[in-house]
Structures are given as C-alpha cells and as structure tokens.
Amino acid sequence: MKFECNRCRLTDAVTNVQRAVSSKSSTPALEGILVKAENNSLVLFGYDLDICITTSVEANIREEGSAIIPAKLFSEIIRKLPEETIKIDVDERNIVYISCGKADYKIIGMPAADYPEIPAIRSNDVISIEGDTLSSMIRQTIYAVSDKDIKPAHKGSLFEIENNSIRIVSVDGFRLAIRTEKISYGGEKTFIVPGKSLLEVTKLIGEDTKNIDISVSGRHIIFRIGSYSVISRLIEGEFMNYKSSIPSVHSTTLTVNTRKFINTIERMSLLLTDKMKSPIRCLIENNVIKTSCNTPLGQANDELEAAIDGEGVEIGFNNRFLLDSLRYSETDEVKLSLNGSLSPMVVTPTEGDSFLFLLLPMRLTR
C-alpha cells in the first residue's frame, strides 16, 4: 500500500476515528486503525466491537492495499509532522513508513486480516433528520441516561419513531427526559441506542451538517454524518414503561424564569459538596419560590418570583439533578407541574410539547 495525502485532512480523520478505538484490548488489532487505500481515496475504520467510526479522505493512491496502524502512535506522529503532504508506504511485512518533509518514521503495523468484521447494515429504509435537530434532541436527553448496570436498557436512549415524529427518551431511576420532533418518515420503529454512541454522534455534527441519515438493521444502527459513518450496536432488553410514570394530575403549576432559577439553585449549591449532600428545599406559595439549604458548612436562603397556580407546596430536590433539568430545557421560561411534596416534578416548555423532563423529589426532614 502506497499513498500521499494532505496532513490536516488525515489528522482530522484519524482524530475522529480514533475515538472508537479501544485504548486497552486483549485483541491488539482493536487498538489500531484499519486503513484501506482504494479507488483514489483512503478509508479509515476505528472499532471497539460496540461502536465503529469510519470515514474517507482524498488521497493519491499509488498502490492499493490495507493495513492496521497503531492508533495512538499514528495520531501523535501525523499531528507533529512539519509539512502538508504525507507519504505512507506499507510493505508486505506490514512495516509502515511515514515521511513528511525531512521527517520520517518506521513503525510496526498489523495485517488487515486481523481486524474484526465490521457490522453490515442491510437496509434501504432511511430516516432523515436535520443535524441541528438531532444534536439538540440528544443533548437534551443524554444527561438522564443511566451509568449504572442495574438495567442495561437504561444505559441508552429509547428512540420511538411513529406518525411522522421522532421521540428520544432517557431514564436513570431519578430522572426522565423526553424530546420530540416532527420528521418526514411515515414508518414505525423502536430501538435503544447506547449513550456512548450518541455522544460520538454529537461530536461529529458540525455547523455545516445538514441532514443525517439513519438506518436500522437487526442489532445495529448507522448514522451517516457528512463524510463520516457511525455504526453502533443496539441495546437489547426492555425499556421501562415511562408513560406510566408521568403524573396525569397536578395540584400546583408555576412558570419561572429559567436563568433566574438556575442562579438561585447555584447559590444554594455553594454549601454542598460530594461529602455534604442535602436537598435544596423549595417552598412554593404566594407567587414566590423560597429556597434554602442547610449543611454542616452553614445555611443559605434565597427567593425568586414565579407565576404560581394552585396549592402551596414544600418540596426538596437534589441540586445537581434540578440544575440539569433547568439547564437542558434551553428555554427562557419553563413550566413546573407538581402534585404534592412526594410526587415527581414535571418540567415542560411554556408553549408546545417539544420536551418533558421528570425529576423525583428528595424526602425532607424537619
């Protein structure tokens, strides 16, 4: 295999593909990037058996071929090279020769045959969604994906596609996040995508990304993002019946300025540490939210105005979970719906139904 290509383009491609490469694996090939030189382009693969990121780079192919190149070393070398054109030769023993200007390297590669088979997505059924929309939907729900192993299905986000709409749902036992958007797709699909894979998808979505094509086949899904493709395994298992956990009755509703409420909770949080955990106490009545926090470090009190309809209520929340629900709303104002001090709080936009966040309260002690 012999080729020449632009250093900057290759560096960007290797950096992105490398995120799917195993840092430590019992299979040495998984710590490398599979490089294929064919049809006047260079195709790169990173794969850790759960997620695969692949892309192509324009190159002057002088001899077609393929090899596995150690990812970390390859990335570090090409980032440090002095000029814009890189020449790479790989001989029959899989020795990789890299040269650029007066700098040259010789490193040990591996045969392409050692690389595991990349999952094939055999489906002509394509779901198309705008890049900004998908990025926003993932960003507003990924925070509620569970990082525990109690229920594997909750380590990913549930995708529900039906009636020309797409819904993403995440839950971790304390929080529920739902985001819904309209799309031009009349079919019905339900599947669970690992949170790790969704994070990698968002990193590849740029300002110039227009549409993202999604195809689902068997146990895998592929996101086509510009020149990149992200192939991920799907999570098997039963997702919780999240609809039954959303309260249908509310005794108290209030509308509050999101930024002002965030600032208030952040001030209360100054007395909280990982070792000193205490609920943020919220007394909601007479169009005012009175907040307080009491820890061994001291006591804090604050209040802000809110448009309150219904019964007064005193309720407590984990400060970090409450802040997440407010920050990821990404709206100037939010509507908060409550049904007593022990039922979940529902966070929604003041208009429309593009998102719904649910947050369990903490029991207060007098």
| pLDDT for the residue 28 | 92
pLDDT of residue 273: 85
DSSP assignment of 311-329: --EEEEE-HHHHHHHHHTT
pLDDT given for residue 50 in this prediction: 94
CA dihedral angle for residue 208, residue 210, residue 214, residue 220, rounded to 10 degrees: 0
| Predicted local distance difference test score (pLDDT) of residue 24 | 85
Residues present in the chain in total: 366
How far is the C-alpha of 308 from the C-alpha of 324, rounded, in Å? 22
Q: What is the pLDDT of residues 312-335, one digit of tens each?
A: 999 999 999 999 999 999 999 999
| 175/152 Cα distance (integer angstroms) | 16
Q: Distance between CA atoms of 204 and 253, rounded to whole angstroms?
A: 39
Beta carbons of 37 and 181 less than 8 angstroms apart:
no
Mean pLDDT by 10 residues, the chain (366 residues): 95 96 89 94 96 96 96 96 94 96 95 94 89 96 89 95 96 95 94 97 90 93 96 95 94 98 97 86 96 93 97 96 96 97 96 96 86
**Can you give the pLDDT at residue 177?**
98
Sign of CA dihedral 133, 337, 335, 182: positive
Full-model pTM: 0.93
pLDDT (tens digit, 9 = 90+) per residue, 227-248?
Answer: 999 999 999 999 999 999 999 9
Strand-pairing partners, residue 160, are: 167, 190
Q: Are 84 and 90 in contact (CB under 8 A)?
A: no
CA angle 14, 19, 23 (to 5 degrees): 105
Provide the CB-side half-sphere exposure for 359 (13 A, CA): 28
128-167 tens-digit pLDDT = 999 999 999 999 999 999 988 778 999 999 999 999 999 9
pLDDT value at residue 325: 96
CA 73-79-80 angle, to 5 degrees, is: 95
Determine how β-strand 211-217 pairs with β-strand 127-130: antiparallel
